[in-house]
Amino acid sequence: MSNSSDSHDVSADPLRSLGKVGLWTQALDLQPASRAREVAAELEDLGYPTVWISEGLRREVLANSAMLLGATRQLVVATGIANIWARDPVAMAAGQLTLAEAFDDRFLLGLGVSRAAIVEGMRGQKYSSPLKRMADYLDAMDGVAYQSPRPAAPPPRVLAAVGPKMLELASRRAAGAHPYFVVPEHTAEARGILGSGPLLCPEQAVVLETDPGRAREIARRYAQLYFGFDSYRKDLLKHGFTEADFDDGGSDRVIDAVIAWGDVEAVQARVQAHIDAGADHVCVQVLPSDPTSLPLEQWRELAPALVNS
């Protein structure tokens, strides 16, 4: 690692406008651009301070961020995450600086290492050690000689991190961490690793459905993909679950621990559990009954409770 390993300036305060609770969604990517812009503006009017978006075989995440930022006035757009294998460090740094300067620091860059199957199978690249790759990538980003006007302060970044080594890297090289598919107990452990200063923004999936069978059906459809990923599986095993909990789409016990379901109060209680465990900001992902649909009605229903958390 180069001598810049501890030099990233995180003086820009992402807590200034993130709020305690934001929305994490892939649903806007399934809408025409005109509709996505309309919905982003409505989410801002509902009081949501932040929307997190991801990337994959959908819209390019930095261009998508610019589109949503341009449709709003105060909304923070965060990437959860921008894949470091999707663009070189120069392009990533230039994209971050461009958006931060153009939109008055309303952009938060979340970076992640993705997975070997995606990097090699979809992108045709050779996957390597995620920790070293991320550290080297951050070194390269920090060394970019960007020649356009810069934002007033260095824009913050967060790292997708579940394991302790990536969390430790996030504590030194970023403004904080964005864990995904984790329980509140993980949030408490992550806070211990990060220390009191860095930002901690866990994602929390929720199903706004009070019927247990229907709620768990929706939750299992979402969770089964992540049960197959080693990092998430190992983390849940560390928190008291067993291999048997991952069979048949997931036991009720593990489903209920990872995905909050029920009424608005149940969702609010899970968000509060993360905050009590040390989260600064919770990224709420609403899982609709139809995964291709836009959960706008649920976002509207949750807004009074979540935006005042």
pLDDT tens for 7-26 read: 344 444 545 799 999 999 99
Q: Going by C-beta distance under 8 Å and a sequence separation of 6 or more, which residues neighbour residue 112?
A: 81, 82, 83, 84, 159, 160, 178
pLDDT for 233 beyond 60: yes
Residue 179 has pLDDT above 90, yes or no: yes
Determine the distance from the C-alpha atom of residue 15 to the mean position of all C-alpha atoms in its chain, rounded to a whole number. Answer: 15
**Burial class of 6 by CB neighbour count within 10 A (0 to 12, 13 to 18, 19+):** exposed
- Answer positive or negative: Cα dihedral of 21, 16, 36, 87: negative
Sign of CA dihedral 219, 220, 226, 231: positive
Distance CA 251, CA 216 (A): 10
pLDDT of 218 higher than 90: yes
- Which residues constitute the domain of residue 285? 3-306
Domain count for the chain, please give it: 1
CATH of the domain at 84: 3.20.20.30
pLDDT digits (tens, 9 = 90+) for 64-92: 999 999 999 999 999 999 999 999 999 99
Q: Which pLDDT score is estimated for 57?
A: 87
Average pLDDT, the chain: 94
Q: What is the 3-state secondary structure (H, E, C) of 168-208?
A: HHHHHHCCEECCCCCCHHHHHHHHHHHCCCCEECCEEEEEC
With 0.75 as the threshold, say if the pTM is over it: yes
How far apart CA 233 and CA 133 sit, in angstroms, is 22
224 and 247 Cβ atoms separated by less than 8 Å = no
Whole-number pLDDT of residue 127: 79
